[in-house]
Structure 1
């Protein structure tokens, strides 16, 4: 943040903490950061959120408390104009491009629909990419490129992980819901239905580097990465509420809300089954009916599928090039040999896809179906 080309004296930083954290640890963190960086900003503040009845421990309840507190304590008491404030939801491990807030400010001031907009950068899990085992480096690489690829898709782009919006819009829709775990898609659709559509997510074409899940050992890293994907798959818990609002709303244009709903359904409902459809889907008809394999269709489908997958595989070269451009340069700890073999890590895609896509998706959706709700766990990032 202190390296922003935008004047940092116009940025207020809130270190939002939880009461359940040890008070000495909390105070030590804040005092260390404040003494080192506090003088660079307009405000460098901390909030301590105490979990109340009806709230769920997580980012949503914590952010809500901090945002409501700042509005009352600094905007309302000083009688400042809320129209000129933006809010950015940021994790502690996120590293901004130096021009991020300059770009955000320009887009905010230049857009006449500024109070009906979210802004989303390309979140890329590259801070510790060279320290990860290959099995988790593969999904984090693909996840980073996927986040980048979604930015031009305004019809389906939804804010996630790190995003900004006007304080006025956030206050208008009554902030994040403190009783939910999913907070990014949750605040988007809460605002979307509250203001009756017309809401968009505008891309910020700048990379934002984040830490991937990492623990102190190989197996612990596998576990924390799995838990992170399971929490993301838990976003399906919002789908019934989104569908309900879709059905009862009569003001949002039909195709606008339908396009949004279809994206939500395809993203969440297909999450646990995509891996199976791609890897073993074509063998199922033959297993169920061996005679099918002797028909013309049964003979041609595997060949056609093989051709399609081969063509799709050729685009892996494009992905490798994008990864090469954006991935941080190797440190001295990383050997040349590791650089040479890194493109071949993508042969782990089927295994990584099963462990970090299919399994956590099935896990989360089954728990949701049985009413065995998960608790928010902060992803370990050493």
Structure 2
């Protein structure tokens, strides 16, 4: 089973990587211009056919676009790009000016026109002075480049809230809703992006997002999920931390090949109407991303999907000014992520209550969710100690022929499964940014870092997940703690 899972993960990751490389070359603004002018699309298609088809992939893309325009028009859902507005819910708590500036700058300097973007900058009352100073400074530099730059402060201690990302995001989204109402802007024409403070977007992100939103049938029912690359400070964090964030990136890329179980995670985008329908983000829940995902899933009776956005967003790995504190904070972050297991009762109860979702899909979703959290907490430990456990638990087993041959068999299977590590190493070299100094040493470290996978996966993956699940079992609550992102 483990060999199969390893080979499946490696295959899916490779397919996902190749697909992302293909889409990285796409001119999204040109496709948007064709979407807005179907007659021009027809003219160019005839011109290509007349002079001979040289680029078959591009020709196929235009044919697919023409077909999709027809589908959307027949459904009565056709819109042009000038009707669409992007709004960014940008939350911050004690982050530095340099980190925030880099994020906001990326939204302003992408290929998509920034004058079609609204920024809702939301700080916390507990960090009010710092947040307002940074917000005003950023607004002075970039504010004129956006459609609007709204500054708000989320009050501390509101009823039925726990401090954290979800309560701040909900506060900011309601401020945006009020703004849209005052400006008479239709919710269906607004794409809302929920971004962490360290979220830097690829130059194509908003262009691809807008194009994908326009061409998606029942676009308001969907969430639009970008890839997460933790590259902003990848070279300044310890090797074990780098392994963890690369592992999450690769797992997310691999899981994107099965959109039936692919869940919205962290920074992502959606239609404003869907955000309103789900009452934004539950301010009493720590894993606000997965809870909103499941809320939307049941609200739409299972007819809700995550749409993949190939253009990545870049985020920070956990980092502090002190070496060992970084490991502590990484542990805390992963424990918080693993606390998403609290969704299981919510999912099971609503699956049983909803009569419109097919039985097979109910079983499939519940089983996948259970397996994901079970494997997260136990797989690294089981894989590391599989060859030793039978003898440790049963002394008489040590004298059998099976006991003699078992270490060799396990070693052979794990070595074969190690093909995946080679693939991970190759992809790592191609996706992470070039280091600014000590280039040779840092690239060598990329090869040798994989030797530490057992150590990282047990102490910075399995054990945090086990603690999170034990806390749920014994009803020991977990408080939301913002992960520090120190740039060095």
Q: Provide the residue aligned with 1:373 in structure 2.
A: 477
Mapping of 1:136-151 within 5 angstroms? 136-151=241-256
By percentage of residues, which structure has more helix? 2
CA-CA distance at 1:143 after TM superposition: 1.7
Q: Provide the residue aligned with 1:113 in structure 2.
A: 218
Mapping of 1:152-171 within 5 angstroms? 152-171=257-276
TM-score by length of 1: 0.95
**Root mean square deviation, CA, Å:** 1.5
Is residue 2:445 matched to residue 1:345? Answer: no
Q: Classify the secondary structure of the residue corresponding to 1:365.
A: helix
C-alpha contact (below 8 Å) 2:335/2:465 kept by paired residues = yes
Q: Provide the residue aligned with 1:133 in structure 2.
A: 238
Q: Provide the residue aligned with 1:281 in structure 2.
A: 386
Task: Check 1:287–1:63 CA distance in 2 against 1; reply closer, same or farther (3 A cut).
Answer: same
Q: Which moved more, 1:85-94 or 1:277-286?
A: 277-286
Q: Provide the residue aligned with 1:234 in structure 2.
A: 339
TM-score by length of 2: 0.75
Is residue 2:148 matched to residue 1:55? Answer: no
Rg comparison, structure with higher value: 2
C-alpha contact (below 8 Å) 1:119/1:203 kept by paired residues = yes
Q: Can you list the C-alpha shifts for 1:283-302, whole angstroms capped at 9, x where unaligned?
A: 22222223334445444543
Q: Which runs of 5+ in 1 are unaligned?
A: none
Is residue 2:465 matched to residue 1:361? Answer: yes
Q: Which runs of 5+ in 2 are unaligned?
A: 1-106
C-alpha contact (below 8 Å) 1:95/1:208 kept by paired residues = yes
Select which of 306, 314, 319 maps to 1:209: 314
C-alpha contact (below 8 Å) 1:124/1:145 kept by paired residues = no
Q: Classify the secondary structure of the residue corresponding to 1:46.
A: strand
* Distance (whole Å) between structure 2 residues aligned to residue 204 and residue 155 of structure 1: 15
Q: Which moved more, 1:11-20 or 1:269-278?
A: 269-278
C-alpha contact (below 8 Å) 1:176/1:187 kept by paired residues = yes
Q: Can you list the C-alpha shifts for 1:139-186, whole angstroms capped at 9, x where unaligned?
A: 122222222222222122111111111111111122111111111111
Is residue 2:123 matched to residue 1:17? Answer: yes
The count of aligned residue pairs is 379
* Distance (whole Å) between structure 2 residues aligned to residue 41 and residue 264 of structure 1: 40
C-alpha contact (below 8 Å) 2:166/2:282 kept by paired residues = yes
Q: Can you list the C-alpha shifts for 1:32-63, whole angstroms capped at 9, x where unaligned?
A: 11011111111111221123122111111111
CA-CA distance at 1:70 after TM superposition: 1.0
C-alpha contact (below 8 Å) 2:435/2:442 kept by paired residues = no
Task: Check 1:18–1:341 CA distance in 2 against 1; reply closer, same or farther (3 A cut).
Answer: closer
